[in-house]
Chain A
Amino acid sequence: QQQVKQSPQSLIVQKGGISIINCAYENTAFDYFPWYQQFPGKGPALLIAIRPDVSEKKEGRFTISFNKSAKQFSLHIMDSQPGDSATYFCAASKAQKLVFGQGTRLTINP
């Protein structure tokens, strides 16, 4: 059962542009929504996370927008840089057990 749906599967953005990745979840029991960044051959690295009582969280160039009623959340990367090229995973958590989306392969063209 796919509980977290992520889109798009792949995304190409020009340097300096805004990258937007979307996720939707089904289980309203989830209480924590992190985003992870993964480079080839490495484990996922925690990027930014949000709790469902907050509608937006910003850390540097990274912003999560959260819509509890729609059960959707998204990651915005402002001023995208070539070093941001990686695979991004959204996840939803209950009791520290993470359910991941399928991933988005982001490519930033210089």
Chain B
Amino acid sequence: ETGVTQSPTHLIKTRGQQVTLRCSSQSGHNTVSWYQQALGQGPQFIFQYYREEENGRGNFPPRFSGLQFPNYSSELNVNALELDDSALYLCASSLAGGQEAFFGQGTRLTVV
């Protein structure tokens, strides 16, 4: 176990709705990154947070947004859900300046 916890584990939403996913980073890790993993694909980088600020973003539209809190936990928000947003959403935590990233078990989002 990595110590990175995500909630909820599964979620079903309707197209057009909004969703919030949560992540608690490993103890002492101050950098959190979010990834989207479509079925049968490798994870794709959404964005990274460090010291409560966005620190890099992948090729995802603005309806994907996030937050990081003073305790380093993080949220991923997705507005106006589309069917193609159905995926496993992964959170990874790491130490600033470190290289190793440790993933949580993910949240499986299904958009119907």
Q: Which residues of A contact B (CB under 8 A)?
A: 4, 6, 32, 34, 36, 41-46, 49, 51, 89, 91, 93, 95-103
Is B48 a contact partner of A97 (Cβ separation < 8 A)? yes
Can you report 19 A-B residue pairs in the complex whose CB atoms are below 8 A from each other?
A6-B42, A34-B100, A42-B106, A43-B2, A43-B6, A43-B90, A43-B106, A46-B100, A46-B102, A89-B43, A95-B56, A96-B33, A96-B94, A97-B45, A97-B58, A98-B33, A98-B35, A98-B92, A103-B40
Nearest chain B CB to A26's CB is how many angstroms away? 15
- Chain B stretch 2-41: residues in CB contact (< 8 A) with chain A: 2, 4, 6, 31, 33, 35, 40-41
**In the complex, what distance in Å separates the CA atom of A69 from the CA atom of B33?**
30
**B48 proximity list for chain A (CB < 8 A):** 96-97
**B42 proximity list for chain A (CB < 8 A):** 4, 6, 89, 91, 100-103
Say yes or no: is B62 at the interface (Cβ < 8 Å to chain A): no
**In the complex, what distance in Å separates the CA atom of A49 from the CA atom of B103?**
15
Is A43 a contact partner of B33 (Cβ separation < 8 A)? no
**In the complex, what distance in Å separates the CA atom of A42 from the CA atom of B44?**
16
Which of the four size classes fits the interface of chain B?
Answer: 20 to 34
* Residue of chain B at shortest CB distance from A91: B42
Is B101 a contact partner of A42 (Cβ separation < 8 A)? no
**In the complex, what distance in Å separates the CA atom of A98 from the CA atom of B47?**
10
User: Given the interface contacts A43-B90, A43-B106, A44-B90, does A96 sit within 8 Å of B99 by beta carbon?
Assistant: yes
Nearest chain B CB to A24's CB is how many angstroms away? 14
Q: Which of B45, B56, B105 contacts A43 (CB 8 A)?
A: B105
**In the complex, what distance in Å separates the CA atom of A102 from the CA atom of B39?**
11
* Residue of chain B at shortest CB distance from A100: B42
Other A-B contacts than A41-B105, A46-B100, A93-B101, 14 sampled, CB-CB below 8 A, are: A4-B42, A32-B99, A42-B105, A43-B6, A43-B90, A44-B43, A44-B90, A45-B2, A49-B99, A96-B99, A97-B33, A97-B48, A98-B43, A101-B42
